[in-house]
């Protein structure tokens, strides 16, 4: 087994020391799948990096022990650790674009792992690499093994990383968000592959993910992490049937789906607290719906309740219930007065109108969206603003894509001569009305992202070979100069890979200000700063994050920055390419609520590219299903999801993992 005992990890920050992991304890047995879940920034990925001894330069393990079998890996020299890392314990990293070497072919990177940890060499190692590429679902593996990472989609790069980690057939696998960039069919294939390997080789799996549906179908045990600490450990079936910690209950209530479409998701207020401080009491207390008067000052211990369940919460301390019931505060009154386990709060947020209004675009092509009504706005002005976005829809759609064709040249040889063409998108047609969300779903490599990039004019000169994209009646493929600049003000994009799309040399403030400087030069410095600070708060970033660089954030936090950057110029249409794929469920709920709120207030439209069907059920008005570059089915979201007619759509929906939770 793997044993982690009292592990403490600290990072040297610019202003103070960050205690990323605080006295963490867990065990993973051979053949077991142990899931580690929690919000971005809570320490999940840092736990994995500490286990592999891959902490960043400013990080160090200050206490604790990590044992693989009987061997303490913290005591090993680096030369010996190289045999453990990859050989006995493999790892799938969270971001494939930054984990794969961009100047090496993907096959060379897999062969390197095989030759380092198995007896295979040369042609035999290459044949093994081809076999693993085939097992993880890479089409034409004999050809794709000689591709560079940039020639692959995000989901395909993720599959290459999985193949590289599994090729050495390790005893344990640390999988940090292994299915984040994968569509549901490939996700099902990868998860089944992991299950097969566990049965064959009794491989232990530490699964770090925010996809609770995947956890429910894969894990035997679940540990919930918050602010560097484990707050609940339980068998998976017990965790989902009756979560005990208030944080666990809130997470399950934040899951999107068709049943919650007519009301905002119950996002958890606030963010994970900064880990530079010394905590006097419960770290979740400022965000807890069941907080008691002594919670902010009394640190809870991780205590066993029954069987294999442990909870870190004062609600389960002796006498806590009596104190809570006697306290006069409203917060303590919310706690159950009996000695039984605490009831899940049943308060529901006030429903808001559906977020699919028919709003009219401005008569001026590519006009900016109206200002957001705010609480400080006078009532008359707010009413006028609301009226301006609920007017009857114009006849023409905001975006009308007609017979879009996109192809890429296939090159080879020293001179990179063209020897053929790859048809990425073939005859795609769809419409998006003002204030409407169209979800574009399909497998990785089917052309979803290429379609979005073509609309945003990121493939102007080499790829678009046919069709039109009419934005408020104007074909964006024919625009140049000032007209193209105006179109870019009206259309923005949230990229799939947040780290690759953020300039690593710019601070967050500069990243968010860049679009405003280019597209809204009329705003002065104070107005720009005010808009940026408001956006940071709305996407769940603290204001001190504005002075930091992208590499200082987790994957989910970087995705929030990317979303804020797209929203900063207040466009009429946003191409959202997997905008919530890197987010945990609580932050996902915040972002989905934000996107729907902006749609309701501003009439903004979304082309929502995703493989998360739960998100589609919650946010989309219409859905288009894409396969091999063609749209094979489209229509009203509920109709397509409930009664799919195309065989491919039926297979796609059959592969979706489902999670039934008891939390109201």
| 509, part of any domain | no
| 536, part of any domain | no
Q: What is the pLDDT of residue 364?
A: 42
Q: Can you read off the two tokens belonging to residue 453?
A: 């990039």
- Residues 76, 156 within the same domain: yes
pLDDT at 328 over 70: no
- Residues 39, 139 within the same domain: yes
The answer to whether the CB of 625 falls within 8 A of the CB of 649 is: yes
| 550, part of any domain | no
Q: What is the pLDDT of residue 380?
A: 39
pLDDT at 495 over 90: no
pLDDT at 18 over 60: yes
546-to-168, 292, 492, 587 alpha-carbon distances in Å: 41, 33, 21, 18
Tell me the pLDDT tens digit for each residue of 107-150: 999 999 999 899 999 999 999 999 999 988 888 999 999 999 98
Percent of the chain with pLDDT over 90: 41
Residue 337: which pLDDT band, with cuts at 50, 70 and 90? very low
- Residues 292, 212 within the same domain: no
- Residues 70, 199 within the same domain: yes
Range of the domain at 646: 403-500+573-654
Residue with tokens 């530079």: 276
- Residues 274, 168 within the same domain: no
Residues 6+ apart with CB under 8 A from 425: 404, 405, 406, 407, 447, 450, 451, 454, 629
- Residues 297, 212 within the same domain: no
Residues 6+ apart with CB under 8 A from 304: 310
Give how many domains the chain has, as a whole number: 3
| 373, part of any domain | no
- Residues 194, 95 within the same domain: yes
Tell me the pLDDT tens digit for each residue of 208-233: 988 888 899 899 999 999 999 999 99
Per the model's pLDDT, the better-predicted residue between 360 and 527 turns out to be: 527
The answer to whether the CB of 332 falls within 8 A of the CB of 321 is: no
Tell me the pLDDT tens digit for each residue of 568-577: 888 999 999 9
- Residues 328, 433 within the same domain: no
Collapsed DSSP state (helix, strand, coil) of residue 340 = coil
Alpha helices in 73-153 (DSSP H): 78-84, 96-99, 106-117, 122-135, 141-144
- Residue 77 sits in a domain whose CATH number is 3.40.50.300
Q: Is the pTM of this model over 0.75?
A: no
| 236, part of any domain | no
- Residues 279, 413 within the same domain: no
Residues 6+ apart with CB under 8 A from 319: none
| 383, part of any domain | no
Q: What is the pLDDT of residue 265?
A: 85
- Residues 26, 151 within the same domain: yes
- Residues 305, 414 within the same domain: no
| 78, part of any domain | yes
The answer to whether the CB of 649 falls within 8 A of the CB of 640 is: yes
Q: What is the pLDDT of residue 351?
A: 38
- Residues 159, 247 within the same domain: no
| 56, part of any domain | yes
Given 204, 219, 234, the domain boundary residue is 219
């Amino acid at each position: 087994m793997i044993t982690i005992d009292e592990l403490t990890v600290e990072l040297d920050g610019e202003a103070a020391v960050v205690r990323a992991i605080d006295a963490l304890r867990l065990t993973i047995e051979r053949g077991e799948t142990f899931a580690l879940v929690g919000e971005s920034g809570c320490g999940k990925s840092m736990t994995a990096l500490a286990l592999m001894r891959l902490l960043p330069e400013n990080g160090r393990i200050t206490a604790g022990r990590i044992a693989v079998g009987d061997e303490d890996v913290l005591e090993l020299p680096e030369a010996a650790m190289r045999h453990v890392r990859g050989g006995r314990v493999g790892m799938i990293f969270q971001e494939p674009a930054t984990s794969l070497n961009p100047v090496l072919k993907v096959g060379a990177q897999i062969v390197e792992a095989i030759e380092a940890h198995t007896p295979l060499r040369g042609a035999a190692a290459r044949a093994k690499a081809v076999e693993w590429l085939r097992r993880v679902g890479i089409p034409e593996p004999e050809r794709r093994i000689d591709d560079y990472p940039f020639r692959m989609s995000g989901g395909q790069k993720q599959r290459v990383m999985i193949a590289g980690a599994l090729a050495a057939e390790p005893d344990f696998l640390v999988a940090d968000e292994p299915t984040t960039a994968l569509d549901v069919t490939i996700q099902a294939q990868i998860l089944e592959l992991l299950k097969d390997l566990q049965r064959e080789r009794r491989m232990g799996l530490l699964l770090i993910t925010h996809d609770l549906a995947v956890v429910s179908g894969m894990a035997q045990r679940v540990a919930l992490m918050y602010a560097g600490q484990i707050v609940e450990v339980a068998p998976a079936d017990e965790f989902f049937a009756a979560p005990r910690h208030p944080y666990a209950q809130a997470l399950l209530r934040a899951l999107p789906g068709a049943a919650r479409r007519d009301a905002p998701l119950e996002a958890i207020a606030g963010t994970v607290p900064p880990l530079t401080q010394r905590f006097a009491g419960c770290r979740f207390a400022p965000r807890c719906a069941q907080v008691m008067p002594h919670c902010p000052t009394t640190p809870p211990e991780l205590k066993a309740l029954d069987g294999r369940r442990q909870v870190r919460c004062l609600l389960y301390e002796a006498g806590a219930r009596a104190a809570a019931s006697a306290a006069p505060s409203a917060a303590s009154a919310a706690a159950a007065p009996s000695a039984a386990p605490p009831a899940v709060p049943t308060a529901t947020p006030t429903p808001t109108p559906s977020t699919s209004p028919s709003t009219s675009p401005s008569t001026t092509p590519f006009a900016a969206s109206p200002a957001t009504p705010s609480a400080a706005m006078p009532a008359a002005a707010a009413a006028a603003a609301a009226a301006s976005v609920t007017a009857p829809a114009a006849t023409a759609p905001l975006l009308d894509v007609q017979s879009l064709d996109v192809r890429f040249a296939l090159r080879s040889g020293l001179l990179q001569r063209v020897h053929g063409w790859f048809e990425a998108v073939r005859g795609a047609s769809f419409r998006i009305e003002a204030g409407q969300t169209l979800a574009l779903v399909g497998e990785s490599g089917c052309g979803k992202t290429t379609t979005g990039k073509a609309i945003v004019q990121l493939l102007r000169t080499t790829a678009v070979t046919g069709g039109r994209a009419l934005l408020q009646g104007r074909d964006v493929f024919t625009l140049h100069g000032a007209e193209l600049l105006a179109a870019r003000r009206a259309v923005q994009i949230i990229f799939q890979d947040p780290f690759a799309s953020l300039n690593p040399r710019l601070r967050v403030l500069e990243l968010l200000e860049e679009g405003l400087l280019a597209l809204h030069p009329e705003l002065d410095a104070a107005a720009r700063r005010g808009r940026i600070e408001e956006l940071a708060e709305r996407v769940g970033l603290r204001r001190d994050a504005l002075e930091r660089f992208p590499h200082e954030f987790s994957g989910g936090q970087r995705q929030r920055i990317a979303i804020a950057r797209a929203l900063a110029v207040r466009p009429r249409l946003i191409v959202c390419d997997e905008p919530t794929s890197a987010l945990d469920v609580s932050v996902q709920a915040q972002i989905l609520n934000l996107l729907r709120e902006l749609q309701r207030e501003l009439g903004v439209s979304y082309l929502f590219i995703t493989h998360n069907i739960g998100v589609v059920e919650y946010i989309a008005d219409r859905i288009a299903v894409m396969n091999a570059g063609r749209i094979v089915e489209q229509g009203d979201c509920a109709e397509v999801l409930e009664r799919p007619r195309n065989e491919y759509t039926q297979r796609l929906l059959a592969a979706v993992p489902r999670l039934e939770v008891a939390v109201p």
